[in-house]
C-alpha cells in the first residue's frame, strides 16, 4: 500500500558550477605551465589537484543534466544515482593523483632540482584567489548534493595546497632549501587521502543501498511501533537514491479494528516526514505476517484475534436471564 511520493529534487546551481569550472580550467593551464617552468613539484601537485577539480565540476554538470531526465519504463527511479557514480569516480581520481604525487615527491627528495621560487610564489597566490572564489560559488549546494560536495572538497583541498605552496615558496626563497617543495607536495597528498576516503565511503554506501548515515534504523523502527494500531513490523528497508532522496519500505501487522488507510498510514507519513525527513515511502499493511516476517517470531493470526475478541466480548456482555 503506497503513501505519499515526493518526486521533487534540486538540481543545484548550474550557473555557479559553470562559472567555477571556467575559473578552475583556466588556472589549471596557468599552474601546470608555471610548475614546469619553475620546476616546482608542489605547483605541479597543485595543478594535478586542479585537474581533478576541473573534472569534478564537469562531471557534476553532466550528472545534473542526466539526473533531470524523467523516469521511464527502463529507469523507474530516474537517473538520480548517476550523481553518486560521479562522486565515486571523483574520489577514485583523487586517490590516484595523491598516490602519484607521493611517489614523485619521494623521487625528488633523493635529488632536489633547482626551483624558481618567485614564479612559484606568484602562481600560488593567484591559485589561492581562484580557489577562494570557487569555494564561495560552490558552498551553497555542498550540503544538499554529495556530487557537489565532492567538487567542493576538491577545491577546498586545492586551497590548502595553494597555501602550502606559498609557504614553501617563501621558505625556499629565504633559505634555498629546495627539498621543502617536495615536502609540501607530500603534505598535500597526505591531507587529501583521508578526506577522499570519506567521500568514497559515502558514495559506496549509497551505491550499496545502505542506510543513510544520518538515519538511525533503530529509531525508525521504534517510531513506527509507537503508532497506534501497529502491532509489529518486518521487512524494513531504508536507503537513498542520491543525496537527500531517502526511501523507505516496510511491512506492518496492524490491529484489525483500526482502519489502516484512514488512521495508520497518515500517521506514518507525518511521523517519517517530521522526524526523519523521509517522504518517499511504501507501506504494506497486513493482518497476519507475510513470508518475509521473522519465522521465529510469534504472531497472532487474524482468525485467532477475532475469535479471542469474540470470547472476551461474550464474557463481558450481560445477556440477562434465559
Backbone angles phi, psi at 303, to 5 degrees: -65, -40
**Nearest of 253, 194, 193, 244 to residue 215 by alpha carbon:** 244
Which pLDDT does position 312 carry in this prediction? 55
Same domain, 159 and 36: yes
Which 3 state secondary structure label does DSSP give 197?
helix
Q: pLDDT grade, residue 5 (50/70/90)?
A: very low
Can you give the CATH number for the domain in which 48 is found? 1.20.1510.10
Same domain, 195 and 252: no
Which pLDDT does position 303 carry in this prediction? 54
Same domain, 129 and 157: yes
Domain end residue (candidates: 181, 207, 233): 207
Domain end residue (candidates: 165, 183, 207): 207
Which pLDDT does position 6 carry in this prediction? 38
The number of helix segments (H) and strand segments (E) in the chain equals: 9, 3
Condensed to tens digits (0 to 9), the pLDDT of residues 191-209 reads 778 877 887 888 888 888 8
Euclidean distance between CA atoms 115 and 107, whole angstroms: 15
Euclidean distance between CA atoms 251 and 233, whole angstroms: 6
Q: Between the CA of residue 311 and those of 147, 255, 307, what are the distances in Å?
A: 60, 17, 6
Q: Residue 248 pLDDT > 90, yes or no? A: yes
Same domain, 164 and 64: yes
Domain end residue (candidates: 154, 177, 207): 207
Q: pTM to 2 decimals?
A: 0.63
Mean pLDDT of the chain: 77
Euclidean distance between CA atoms 161 and 155, whole angstroms: 9
Q: What is the share, in percent, of the chain residues with pLDDT greater than 70?
A: 80
Same domain, 49 and 156: yes
Q: Residue 50 pLDDT > 70, yes or no? A: yes
Same domain, 237 and 201: no
Same domain, 93 and 39: yes
Determine the structural domain holding residue 147 and report its residue range. Answer: 14-207
97 in a structural domain: yes
Can you give the CATH number for the domain in which 224 is found? 3.30.70.1350
322 in a structural domain: no
Q: Which residues pair with residue 253 across a beta bridge? A: 232, 286
Euclidean distance between CA atoms 182 and 189, whole angstroms: 11
Same domain, 53 and 111: yes
8 in a structural domain: no
**Residue 116 · residue 39 · CB < 8 Å:** yes
**Residue 180 · residue 43 · CB < 8 Å:** no
Which pLDDT does position 7 carry in this prediction? 37
Number of domains making up the chain: 2
Q: pLDDT grade, residue 10 (50/70/90)?
A: very low
321 in a structural domain: no
**Residue 78 · residue 152 · CB < 8 Å:** no
Amino acid at each position: 500500500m503506497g503513501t505519499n511520493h515526493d518526486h521533487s529534487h534540486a538540481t543545484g546551481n548550474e550557473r555557479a558550477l559553470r562559472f567555477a569550472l571556467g575559473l578552475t580550467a583556466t588556472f589549471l593551464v596557468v599552474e601546470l605551465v608555471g610548475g614546469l617552468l619553475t620546476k616546482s613539484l608542489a605547483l605541479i601537485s597543485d595543478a594535478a589537484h586542479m585537474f581533478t577539480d576541473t573534472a569534478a565540476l564537469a562531471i557534476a554538470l553532466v550528472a545534473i543534466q542526466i539526473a533531470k531526465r524523467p523516469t521511464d519504463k527502463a529507469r523507474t527511479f530516474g537517473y538520480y544515482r548517476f550523481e553518486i557514480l560521479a562522486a565515486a569516480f571523483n574520489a577514485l581520481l583523487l586517490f590516484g593523483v595523491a598516490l602519484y604525487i607521493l611517489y614523485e615527491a619521494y623521487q625528488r627528495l633523493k635529488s632536489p632540482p633547482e626551483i624558481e621560487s618567485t614564479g612559484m610564489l606568484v602562481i600560488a597566490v593567484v591559485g589561492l584567489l581562484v580557489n577562494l572564489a570557487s569555494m564561495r560559488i560552490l558552498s551553497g549546494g555542498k550540503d544538499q548534493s554529495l556530487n557537489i560536495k565532492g567538487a567542493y572538497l576538491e577545491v577546498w583541498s586545492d586551497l590548502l595546497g595553494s597555501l602550502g605552496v606559498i609557504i614553501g615558496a617563501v621558505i625556499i626563497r629565504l633559505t634555498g632549501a629546495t627539498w621543502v617543495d617536495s615536502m609540501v607536495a607530500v603534505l598535500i597528498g597526505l591531507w587529501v587521502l583521508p578526506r577522499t576516503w570519506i567521500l568514497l565511503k559515502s558514495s559506496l554506501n549509497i551505491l550499496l543501498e545502505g542506510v543513510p548515515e544520518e538515519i538511525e534504523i533503530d529509531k525508525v523502527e521504534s517510531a513506527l511501533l509507537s503508532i497506534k494500531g501497529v502491532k509489529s513490523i518486518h521487512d524494513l528497508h531504508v536507503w537513498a537514491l542520491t543525496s537527500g532522496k531517502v526511501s523507505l519500505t516496510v511491512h506492518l501487522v496492524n490491529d484489525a479494528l483500526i482502519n489502516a488507510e484512514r488512521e495508520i498510514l497518515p500517521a506514518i507519513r507525518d511521523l517519517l516526514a517530521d522526524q526523519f525527513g523521509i517522504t518517499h515511502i511504501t507501506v504494506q499493511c497486513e493482518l497476519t505476517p507475510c513470508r518475509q516476517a521473522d519465522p521465529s517470531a510469534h504472531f497472532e493470526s487474524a482468525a485467532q484475534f477475532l475469535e479471542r475478541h469474540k470470547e472476551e466480548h461474550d464474557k463481558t456482555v450481560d445477556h440477562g436471564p434465559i
